[in-house]
A and B are shown apart, each in its own frame.
Chain A
Amino acid sequence: MATVRLSFSPAPVHVRTARLVGVAVARRAGVAEELLDEVRLAIGEACTRAVALHRQYGLTDLVTVEMSDSDSYTVRVIDHGPLEASVGLTKLPPDELADESLTDDALTTGVGFALLAGFVDDLQVRPVEDGSGTEVRMVWPVTRR
């Protein structure tokens, strides 16, 4: 069950709000203080990816962030982009990062995915259960106080 659910129109300005809420709920859930920077970055990257997908495909649907703290702190970022847009997410090798042929969008997508994979031990990207879209699911351990 979601403890907090936030939905926002796919505009870059709202990604910061999602980060702030995500970290506030993480702190409240008992995620270790030293992990909060990583939580902030990972939620930001997942939301940035969702906003970019919605804008790329001209979708006005809201992006949803669900935060739940049952046994661990679980964050789901749900977009409504076509599934094929999420295929081929991969980390770029160093020699391609500054390659002239790599577009800015491709670079940002690759780097964003590298950050998600690098900062979240428990990360899943999967299709949503009903309708079009993908869910980025991230889990962090909590320490009960």
Chain B
Amino acid sequence: MELSLTTRTVAGHTVLEVGGEVDVYTAPRLRERLIELVDAGARDVVVDLERVDFLDSTGLGVLVGALKRLRTAHGTFGLVCAKEPLLKIFRITALDQVFPIFASVEAATERDGSGPAS
């Protein structure tokens, strides 16, 4: 399935809903969209991975890039992911210790929910 990217605002957070496959071919589009959002002034960003079918190291690299960019901009960055296969990817790479990961968009967008991007 092709990559889909949809942006909405929830409780003052910019939520980027990602769907389909994030791999070496599609990840550059995700990177561009995240850079556009930060350049346009978004500072509290949540990436919702609930509709992602496939995520590889290139996609993970893009997410780390966004975390660093928001850290530099004194913003916050969080992920929404409750699917066990994806959570396993974060555990194996130890990126579960790097990203704030939430089970729902509601949890991620609560006041101070995503915490500082550090």
Contacts and interface: CB of A to CB of B under 8 A. Distances in A.
B54 A40 contact: yes
A69 interface: no
Interface stretch (B4-12, B17-25, B44-52): B17-25
A114 B93 CA distance: 6
A138 interface: no
Nearest to A52: B24
B89 interface: yes
Nearest to B65: A104
Interface residues of B, number: 23
Contacts, number: 78
Interface in A48-90: 48, 51-52
Given A48-B23, A114-B92, A98 B98 contact: yes
Nearest to A99: B68
Contacts of A16: 21, 23, 25
Interface of B: 21, 23-25, 54, 56-58, 60-61, 64-65, 67-68, 71, 85, 89, 92-95, 97-98
